[in-house]
Structure 1
Amino acid sequence: MPNLSFVTVDVFTTTRFAGNPLAICTIPKGTDVSTEQMQTITREFNLSETVFLHEQENSNEQNPEWRVRIFMVNSELPFAGHPTIGTACYTLGTLTTNASRGKLLCKAGPIGLDYSNGVARASIPHNVHIHTESKFTAEQLHELQPALADRKIHSIDVVSPVKGMNFICVELDNLEDLGLVSVSGIKPTAKLDQDWNVGFSGSYFYVVQQTDAEGVQVRTRMIEGALEDPATGSAACGLCAFLSLKGRSAGKPFVVTQGVEMGRKSDIGVTVTLTGDSKSVEKIELSGSAVKVIEGTVHYD
């Protein structure tokens, strides 16, 4: 019976059983695992995402490359943040002995990695798009989150960090209101702009707390139907790009804290570099740590 070795890591944390858990299955060279088999294995893990990591693509020990595919329980993703950081920490922190740089090759494009002192930094593929053709209304929001009906909503914007990853970004007034957000079981259905109406959609609630010497502090929650995610790196990248384009970062890095209400506190670092005219995004860097929790073997047919 064919099998793959796997590990699970908790991502955007240095504490086991916090952060966002991720399964990483290693596919040896010469082994063929079909998309259907990957999807079935992902459903068995039943985590928000599972990564299938092909053994090192090149022989360069100083700048190794790995091809990856990223799955949710019901679909494949072109890119996702916590799988990128978790896999970066695992490959550069465990599979190599002296590499501090590397690259992941995912469907959204190549991702350059740096790793030092347990922290991975990833230069994220991006094609940031703010949807404008149709607004997501307060009435639609209240259908998803009735407890917010009498609460102040600063803004509702639909943002895609890359095509196929879409987030309804809702700015709330305070942490008390953020605590009212619930897992309703109703999936959000934002009307996306023409040619962008594909892929995953989630609701991303946030409160901008303060800007200090360390950066812009933001608290968030991500809800998609019956799922609440402890850490959503792609949503954090999209939101921070949006806030930067709106002039709300003062050029400082972001510290995004998510998962507190779930008891799985996650700390997500995002740095956004704009073009010289400040009208578009030149670079997004996502950063964080991960810690290994489980390792074993998965058997499949």
Structure 2
Amino acid sequence: MDVTRRKFLTAAGSAGLAASLGPIAYGHVVAPSSGRRFKFAHVDVFTQQPLLGNPLDVFLDARGMSDADMLAITRETFLSEAAFILPRDAATEREHGVRVKIFTPDGEIPFAGHPTLGTAMVLRDLRLRSASAHAAAAHLAQITLDLNVGKIPVTFMTDGAGRVFGEIRQVAPDFGAVHDKEAIAQLHDLAGDEIADDGPIQTVSTGLSFAIVPLKRLSTLQSLRINAEKMRAYLARQPGNLGFYYITRDTGDADVAFRSRCLWVGGEDAATGSAAGCTIAWMVCYGSVAPDKPVKIRQGVEMKRPSDIIVRASRDGDKIVDIRVGGYAVQTIRGELML
């Protein structure tokens, strides 16, 4: 359609602005011919307030999507991850859990914290709104997700204000490589004394791998920057190490035990539940936190998306077990994707 400025102004003056905008804004927008439609929920995870925390899109029934579809959709969302529910019959879901696939813009991953919690919260809400759910409280007390990393149970409890808190039980931690303190300081252009002595800089995995870097001062955490060239070169020599998770006890808030950031080349995460699980395992292992003590990690402040992650872990002899990562979530959008 050839629409000049003069024609637009003439149409607006004679027929009204809405009438003139109609053919311009909508004249060439058509629905996809395939007719495939997929409902989704947009959730802000690890927060009690909309538009904070870590955002997530959860597709409620992804049957009929290929892996290529899921990857393309995740890239379309411009989010760090998206989750895709693949419903099965009730008997299979009772035995094996609800099948869920998690994608980043780079591909499918076996596990991630905020997609796990966010998806479980959405499933709980769907069950709550179904006619049959009210008959059994146990139906709402726990939901098990069948992820590529294995079966991950998410337990729910209601706090005194009536808000639903969800807690993920992650897989047992795997303690990997210990990194040289001076090398890590140079990698981040830090002085050696800016790294704390809470424990070694070590790679830990509870489904995804992160190297835990303890820092002495909040100001150091806030000013961290990633040198892309140096970071890529370092990570290329560390097979299986996804990235770094930076923490400090210097929070400036008596209610917050640790502040954290998860930075990578080209981006930052507002809340990283998988890394928080690795971190509580590391804390209990090296005595920074007592076994079974819940602690609050606040992340995302520098992004203006503050997130609160509640973590705890147990000790069984020399082993760190029962890794639990919890928080709240808020649904902000419900919609439909047309393909």
Q: Structure 2 length normalisation: TM-score?
A: 0.76
The Cα shift of 1:79 comes to 0.7
Aligned residue in 1 for 2:212: 169
Aligned residue in 1 for 2:298: 257
Aligned residue in 2 for 1:77: 109
Which of 45, 48, 58 in structure 1 is aligned with 2:80? 48
Identity percentage of aligned residues: 29
Q: Provide, for residues 236-260 of structure 1, a one-character-per-residue CA deviation record: whole Å limited to 9, x for no partner.
A: 1101101101122122122111011
Structure 2: which amino acid aligns with 1:158?
Q
Which of 267, 272, 281 in structure 2 is aligned with 1:232? 272
Whole-Å separation in 2 of the counterparts to 1:6 and 1:80? 19
Judged with a 3 Å threshold, the aligned counterparts in structure 2 of structure 1 residues 140 and 78 are, in CA distance, closer, same or farther, namely same
Whole-Å separation in 2 of the counterparts to 1:262 and 1:207? 17
Structure 2: gaps spanning 5 or more residues: 1-33, 135-139, 159-163
SS in 2 for 1:8: strand
SS in 2 for 1:268: strand
Structure 1: gaps spanning 5 or more residues: none
Aligned residue in 1 for 2:175: 129
Judged with a 3 Å threshold, the aligned counterparts in structure 2 of structure 1 residues 32 and 112 are, in CA distance, closer, same or farther, namely same
Does residue 65 (structure 1) correspond to residue 97 (structure 2)? The answer is yes
Structure 2 counterparts to residues 89-238 of structure 1, below 5 A: 89-96=121-128, 97-98=133-134, 99-117=140-158, 118-132=164-178, 135-143=179-187, 145-146=188-189, 148-149=190-191, 152-154=194-196, 157-162=201-206, 165-186=208-229, 187-188=231-232, 189-190=234-235, 191-192=237-238, 197-198=239-240, 201-209=242-250, 217-238=257-278
The Cα shift of 1:158 comes to 2.8
Of stretches 242-251 and 200-209 in structure 1, the one that deviates more from structure 2 is 200-209
Whole-Å separation in 2 of the counterparts to 1:11 and 1:254? 18
Judged with a 3 Å threshold, the aligned counterparts in structure 2 of structure 1 residues 213 and 263 are, in CA distance, closer, same or farther, namely closer
Question: Aligned-pair RMSD on alpha carbons?
Answer: 2.6
Whole-Å separation in 1 of the counterparts to 2:92 and 2:332? 28
The Cα shift of 1:137 comes to 4.5
Aligned residue in 1 for 2:31: none
The Cα shift of 1:209 comes to 4.1
The Cα shift of 1:138 comes to 2.8
Q: Structure 1 length normalisation: TM-score?
A: 0.85
Task: Tell me if structure 1 keeps the 8 A contact 2:47–2:308.
Answer: yes
SS in 2 for 1:18: coil
- Superposition misfits of 4+ residues, deviation over 6 angstroms: 60-64
Task: Tell me if structure 2 keeps the 8 A contact 1:63–1:101.
Answer: no
Aligned residue in 2 for 1:299: 338
Aligned residue in 1 for 2:57: 23
Structure 1: which amino acid aligns with 2:116?
T
Structure with the largest fraction of helix? 2
Task: Tell me if structure 2 keeps the 8 A contact 1:171–1:206.
Answer: yes
Task: Tell me if structure 2 keeps the 8 A contact 1:159–1:242.
Answer: no
Larger Rg computed on CA atoms? 2
Q: Provide, for residues 167-206 of structure 1, a one-character-per-residue CA deviation record: whole Å limited to 9, x for no partner.
A: 12211111111111125445453444xxxx33x6122111
Structure 1: which amino acid aligns with 2:53?
G
Of stretches 231-240 and 243-252 in structure 1, the one that deviates more from structure 2 is 243-252
Task: Tell me if structure 1 keeps the 8 A contact 2:53–2:300.
Answer: yes
Q: Provide, for residues 65-92 of structure 1, a one-character-per-residue CA deviation record: whole Å limited to 9, x for no partner.
A: 3110111110211111111111111111
Structure with the largest fraction of strand? 1
Structure 1: which amino acid aligns with 2:44?
D
The Cα shift of 1:267 comes to 0.4
The Cα shift of 1:93 comes to 2.8
Whole-Å separation in 2 of the counterparts to 1:71 and 1:243? 29
Structure 2: which amino acid aligns with 1:208?
R
